[in-house]
Amino acid sequence: MSRLSTHVLDLALGQPARALAVRLDLITRAGAGPAPGEDPVLVSTAVTDHDGRVVDLLGGVPLTAGVYRLAFQTGEYFAATGRATFYPLVEVTFQVTAPDQHHHVPLLLSPFGYSTYRGS
């Protein structure tokens, strides 16, 4: 079974972002656009572990081709660490075209910037 994972690093502290809430939504299935007024479908919610990771965002649900969104609750994370942030929510939208492959979506985070890429 394919996997979908993430890893969040707090660049300002130089360590993993622990206990950061993450939400995964399915925006559209492959070959089908969103219906007018249709909301994204919640796939799962998770919290990063001691190493800033969520190793299985799918929770046993098979990965299908389509457009997904990861929503990182960065405002709550920074508030819990006593820091202000310019980005209270970071959303990363990505497309899965090969659902049989492992997809890894890392987030490099600081209070005033972030970066992401397709990991391995």
Task: Count, in order, helices (H) and strands (E) of the chain.
Answer: 1, 10
pLDDT confidence of residue 13: 96
**Token code pair at residue 33:** 């656009």
Residue pair 53/9 in contact by the 8 Å Cβ criterion:
no
**Token code pair at residue 88:** 């209270």
Domains of the chain: 4-116 (2.60.40.180)
pLDDT confidence of residue 33: 58
Residue among 102, 94, 98 nearest 1 (CA) = 102
- State whether the Cα torsion 27-29-33-37 is positive or negative: negative
* Distant-in-sequence contacts of 12-15, Cβ < 8 A, 24+ apart: 12/83, 12/109, 12/110, 12/111, 13/81, 15/52
For residue 75, report the phi and psi dihedrals to the nearest 5 degrees.
-60, -45
Q: Tell me how far apart the alpha carbons of residues 107 and 57 are, in angstroms, rounded to a whole number.
A: 14
The pTM for the full model equals 0.91
pLDDT confidence of residue 38: 66
**pLDDT by 10s per residue, the chain, length 120:** 568 999 999 999 999 999 999 999 999 876 565 545 568 899 999 999 999 999 999 988 889 999 999 999 999 999 999 999 999 999 999 999 999 999 999 999 999 999 999 998
